[in-house]
């Protein structure tokens, strides 16, 4: 059985936590009708972070691509708010790409499920 790389643990937990906290935060807005139907895509994006984090932890290669795309979307959205938010998300995106595309992570994610 192969050890799960530390980067997989760290980013999986980070995205699961961010998604869950975001879901809880925005569900409150759903109760108050603050956003109306516009809250639905936001909730789906938060749920996508949770699901992708779980599947990254399990060892599915597609999950890192979804998480990188999720972060890239956040860079674009946060650029509409402020330079600081966009810069913070961009730094996180660079870290995700650097660590989740390292050779040891790539070989872990491409390994057959029976060897994990």
Q: What is the pLDDT of residue 34?
A: 63
Least confident of 20-24, 39-43, 65-69: 39-43
Rounded percentage of the chain residues whose pLDDT exceeds 70: 92
Picking from 66, 30, 26, the residue whose alpha carbon sits closest to that of residue 48 is 66
Give the pLDDT mean for 96-102: 97
pTM: 0.87
Give the pLDDT mean for 87-96: 97
- Tell me if residue 80 falls in helix, strand or coil: coil
Q: What is the pLDDT of residue 111?
A: 75
| Phi, psi dihedral angles at 100 (to 5 degrees) | -85, -10
């Amino acid at each position: 059985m192969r050890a799960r790389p530390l980067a997989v643990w760290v980013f999986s937990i980070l995205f699961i936590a961010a998604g869950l906290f975001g879901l809880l935060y925005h569900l409150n807005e759903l109760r108050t009708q603050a956003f109306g139907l516009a809250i639905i895509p936001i909730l789906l994006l938060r749920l996508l972070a949770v699901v992708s984090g779980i599947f990254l932890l399990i060892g599915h290669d597609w999950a890192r691509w979804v998480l990188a795309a999720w972060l890239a979307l956040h860079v674009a959205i946060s650029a509409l708010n402020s330079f600081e938010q966009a810069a913070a998300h961009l730094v996180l995106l660079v870290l995700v790409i650097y660590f989740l595309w390292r050779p040891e992570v790539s070989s872990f994610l491409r390994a057959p499920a029976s060897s994990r």
